[in-house]
Amino acid sequence: MSIIEFADVSHSFGDRTVLRGIRLHLTEHRIGIVGANGSGKSTLARMINGLVAPSSGTVTVNGMDVSRQAREVRRTVGFIFTNPDNQIVMPTVQEDVAFTLRRRGLGAEEIARRTAAALERFGLTAHADHPAHRLSGGQKQLLALAAVLVAEPEIVVADEPTTLLDARNSRRFGTLLREMTQQVIVVTHQLELLDDFDRVIVIDEGEIVADDTADAALSRYRALTA
């Protein structure tokens, strides 16, 4: 597994401090992050691939400083947004998956092979030539996942990926997360998604208040929100 380090990380948006003195050493296969709205959990997740730079302290991924080496880090870390419309950039499903690989400078034959495999894996082959933004919500989230995984990142960070999905698609997406060989870090309010995760971190008002097994950490979170 990869090694993600937060060393005395704090962050503020203007005069509002959202993270305070975060220290983490993340090596487990599947890690969940939970917290109330505004707790800082999404900010923490976005720091892992450089979408947000810490105001103080450092975040490193396999020894790479995320603030200084964001481009290299993003080859290692794939990020899935809450709303897949935020990361669908090409007109058709096939083009959107292939776009990631074109930016890597791969040849046309390799791009075609890997794109076809990704579409098949996520049940999108029949939609290859369809307009991407006309897919259902569940299909769009599958497309976002396909477009991330086709680049074969070592780490996948998902920021509340099931928020806009119905119950059936949430379960399907949860199953896909569990099947991934990559290190997976999931920010979610859907606690059952994390029941069998290796580690769960609870953030409250910008600080870590629990960091434990799923059972112990989620019990602490439920007590906080009771």
Burial class (CB in 10 A: 0-12, 13-18, 19+), 94: buried
Percent of the chain residues past pLDDT 70, beyond the cut: 100
pLDDT of 19 > 90? The answer is yes
Identity of residue 97: V
Q: pLDDT at position 103, please?
A: 81
Q: Where are the alpha helices (DSSP H) in the chain?
A: 41-47, 70-76, 93-102, 108-121, 137-149, 167-179, 214-225
Please, what are the domains in the chain? 31-50+70-225 (3.40.50.300)
pLDDT of 1 > 80? The answer is no
For residues 113-125, give the mean pLDDT: 94
Q: What is the pLDDT of residues 150-181, one digit of tens each?
A: 999 999 999 999 888 888 888 888 888 888 99
pLDDT of 100 > 90? The answer is no
Q: pLDDT at position 55, please?
A: 96
CA distance 41 to 121: 30
For residues 206-215, give the mean pLDDT: 96
Contact between 178 and 196 under an 8 Å Cβ cutoff? The reply is: yes
pLDDT of 108 > 80? The answer is yes
Q: pLDDT at position 99, please?
A: 92
For residues 100-127, give the mean pLDDT: 91
Rounded-to-10 torsion of CA 96, 99, 101, 105: 170
Q: Which of the two residues, 4 and 71, has the higher pLDDT score? A: 4
Q: pLDDT at position 144, please?
A: 93
Q: pLDDT at position 194, please?
A: 95
Q: pLDDT at position 104, please?
A: 81
